[in-house]
Structure 1
Amino acid sequence: MALYSNHTRRPAARNVRNTAIIVLLVLFALATLFPIYFMVISSFGDPVEAGAVSYQLWPSKITLASFKFFFDYSEYSYRWILNSLIVAGSIMITNVLFASAAGFAFSKLRFKGRSVLFTVLLCAMMIPYQVTQVPLYILVVNVFHLQNTYTALIMPSLVTVYNIFLAKQFMGSIPTEILESAKVEGCNPWQIYWRIILPLSKTVLAVMAILTFMDSWNTFFWPLLVTNTMDMQTIQVGLKNFRFANTTYLAPMMAGATISALPMFILFFSLQRYFLEGVTVGAVKG
C-alpha cells in the first residue's frame, strides 16, 4: 500500500508543478503582450486631448479617426516613415554585409594581429552605448558637419561589434574541409566568402537582419541628437510632436506607434523560420 501511495503521489505532484509552470508562463505572456494590446486598442480611440482621455481596456467606440489624424497632423508624417525605412534598411544591409565579411575573416583567414584585433573589438563591445554618444556627436556634427543628413543617421551604425562576434562564432563552426576543397577547385577568398560562406550562413544572417533592423528602427536618442528639422526625423522621433507642455494627443500617438510596429512584425514573421533556427543552432549535437 505504501508503494502504491508513493506512485500515485508522484504524478499528482508532477501535475501540480506543470500547472504552476503553465500559469506562470501565461501570466508572463500576458504581462509582455499587454503594452502591445494597450497600444493597438488606444489607437482606435478618438483623437482627443489627454485631459479628455479615459484609459480603458476596451474603448467605447472603435474608430479609425486617430490614424487619419496622424497623417493629417503634419505634412511630414509619411516622410517620418520613409526616413525610418531608409535608415533602418541601410543599417541592416550594411551590417549583414560588413559583419559577415569580418566574421569570415576572423574565423577562417589567418593574418597577423588577428587575435589582438578581435580582442580589441570585444573590449569595445563592453563600453556602454551612452558613453560614446558625446564624442560621436562631436565628430559627426562639429568635425564632419553632417548634422541633419542621412549620413549622420546611418554612418555610426554601419556595422556593430556584436554582429561581427555573432558572425564569427557561427562561421567558425563551418567545416574547414569545405573551404579547402574550394581552394583546390581554384576559388579565391572572395569567391569562397560569396559562394560558400554566405549560402551556409543564411540562419545567422537572418538573425542579424532582424535584430539590427529592430534596433535601428526603434532608436530614439541618436536621431533626436543629429536631426533639427521635422523632414529628417524618423518615426520614433516624430511621435514626440504629438506631446505638448499641457496636453498629449494620446490616440494619434498610439496610432503612429502601431504603424511604426508593423514593419518589425512583417520582417520577423517573414524570417521567423531562420530566426528560430538561429536560436536553436548548436543546442543539439549530431
Structure 2
Amino acid sequence: MATNHQQIQLQLDEKKDKQRKIFKIVGLSVIYIVLTIWAILTFVPLIWMFISSIKDTTSITQVPPQLIPDQPTLDAYRRVFDVGGFARWFLNSVIVSTILTISNVVLASLAGYAFAKLKFPGRNTIFWILLGSMMIPGQITLIPLYILIVNTFQMADTYLALVIPTLVTTANIFLARQFMASLPSTLIDAARIDACSEPKIFWKVILPMAKPGLAVLGIFTFVANWNNFFWPFLVTSSNEMRTLQVGLTSFRYQYTADYGAMMAGAVLTAIPMFIVFLALQKYFLKGITIGAVKG
C-alpha cells in the first residue's frame, strides 16, 4: 500500500512538473512574441523613413502607400547635398553635441561625487533645491533665458548661445549623484588613509568605477542635444549656424515640402546615433543594470 501511494505521489509530482514546464514555455513564448512584435513596431518608422528616402516625390505621397519602390533612386540624397549647407549643419551638430556631452559628463560627475560622497554644510538642502528646479516646466524659463542670451549678452547666432544654457543639466547631476552613491565608500576611505587628495581620489578611484554610469550619461546627453530643435531654432538665424535638425526645415516651403529630401536628411542624421550607441553599447547595458542585483 505504501509503495502504491508513493508511486501515485511520484506520478502526481511528475504531472505537476510537466504542467509547470508547459506553463513556463507558454509564458516565455508569449513574452517573446510580444517583445518581437514591439521591436518590429519600433523599427517600422525607421524602415519607412529609409524606404521613403529612396522613392521619388510622387511615390512618397501615393495612396495606398507603396511599401517597396518599383524604381529606387538616390535623387533625394543628391538634393540634400545640392541645397547647400548640409555639411556645415552636420559639423555644427557635431561641435555642439560633443561640447555639451563632454561638459555634462565632467561637471555632472564632479557635482555627483560631491553630493554623494563629500560632507559639507547645506549639502542636502542644495541637492533638494536642484531637484525642485527639475519640476519647473522648461517653457517658464525659456523666455527669460532667451532674453538673457540674445538681448543681454548679445550671443545670438553663435556657438555660445547654443551651448551655454545646457553646459550641465540638473537631470544629469541627479543621475551622476545616484550612480556615485552606489559606489563603495570603503575604497575612498582607504585612499584618504593613504593621504590621497580629493582630486586624485576622484581621478584614480571614482572615475574607473564610474565608467558605465558616465557612459549612459554621455549617451543620453549626446542624443538629446543631437536631436534638439527648438532652442537652436530660436537662437540661430543664419544658414551657417543651423544645426541638422533646424537645417532640415529648409526642405519645407510655403506651399509644399520636399519629403524625399527630408527623409534622406533624417536617415543621414540618424547614422551617428547608431554609431554612438554601438560604440558604447557595453557600458550602456552595464550602466542601466547597475543596482539590479546586490551581493
Task: Tell me how far apart the structure 2 counterparts of residues 87 and 56 of structure 1 sit (CA, whole Å).
Answer: 38
Q: Which residue of 2 aligns with 1:31?
A: 41
| TM-score computed with the length of structure 1 as normaliser | 0.92
Displacement of 1:122: 0.5
Task: Tell me how far apart the structure 1 counterparts of residues 202 and 22 of structure 2 sit (CA, whole Å).
Answer: 56
Task: Tell me how far apart the structure 2 counterparts of residues 12 and 178 of structure 1 sit (CA, whole Å).
Answer: 48
CA shift digits 1:202-255 (9 cap, x unpaired): 001100110000000001111111111111110001111101122111111111
Question: Does the CA contact (< 8 Å) of 2:182 and 2:291 recur in 1?
Answer: no
Of 18, 21, 27, the residue aligned with 2:31 is 21
* AA of the residue aligned to 1:34: V
Task: Tell me how far apart the structure 2 counterparts of residues 147 and 50 of structure 1 sit (CA, whole Å).
Answer: 40
| TM-score computed with the length of structure 2 as normaliser | 0.90
CA shift digits 1:80-131 (9 cap, x unpaired): 0000001111000000000000011111111111110000000111222233
Question: Does the CA contact (< 8 Å) of 1:95 and 1:212 recur in 2?
Answer: yes
Q: Which residue of 1 aligns with 2:251?
A: 242
Unpaired stretches in structure 1, ≥5 consecutive residues: none
Of 55, 61, 78, the residue aligned with 2:71 is 61
Q: Per the alignment, do residues 50 and 131 of structure 1 end up closer, same or farther by CA in structure 2, a change over 3 Å counting?
A: farther
Residue 142 of structure 2 is aligned to residue 133 of structure 1: yes
Q: Per the alignment, do residues 112 and 36 of structure 1 end up closer, same or farther by CA in structure 2, a change over 3 Å counting?
A: same
Worse overlay, 210-219 or 139-148: 139-148
Q: Per the alignment, do residues 241 and 107 of structure 1 end up closer, same or farther by CA in structure 2, a change over 3 Å counting?
A: same
Unpaired stretches in structure 2, ≥5 consecutive residues: 1-7
Task: Tell me how far apart the structure 1 counterparts of residues 235 and 58 of structure 2 sit (CA, whole Å).
Answer: 30
Of 263, 285, 292, the residue aligned with 1:276 is 285
Task: Tell me how far apart the structure 1 counterparts of residues 17 and 287 of structure 2 sit (CA, whole Å).
Answer: 41
Question: How many corresponding residue pairs?
Answer: 284
Residue 109 of structure 2 is aligned to residue 109 of structure 1: no
CA shift digits 1:114-151 (9 cap, x unpaired): 11000000011122223321121111111111111100
Residue identity over aligned pairs, in percent, reads 46
Q: Per the alignment, do residues 72 and 53 of structure 1 end up closer, same or farther by CA in structure 2, a change over 3 Å counting?
A: farther
Structure 1 residues 1-286: aligned runs within 5 Å? 3=12, 11-46=21-56, 48=57, 55-74=65-84, 76-286=85-295
Task: Tell me how far apart the structure 1 counterparts of residues 226 and 114 of structure 2 sit (CA, whole Å).
Answer: 28
Question: Does the CA contact (< 8 Å) of 1:227 and 1:233 recur in 2?
Answer: yes
Displacement of 1:281: 0.5
Task: Tell me how far apart the structure 2 counterparts of residues 237 and 7 of structure 1 sit (CA, whole Å).
Answer: 60
Task: Tell me how far apart the structure 2 counterparts of residues 155 and 164 of structure 1 sit (CA, whole Å).
Answer: 16
Q: Which residue of 1 aligns with 2:4?
A: none
Task: Tell me how far apart the structure 2 counterparts of residues 139 and 269 of structure 1 sit (CA, whole Å).
Answer: 38
Question: Does the CA contact (< 8 Å) of 1:50 and 1:250 recur in 2?
Answer: no
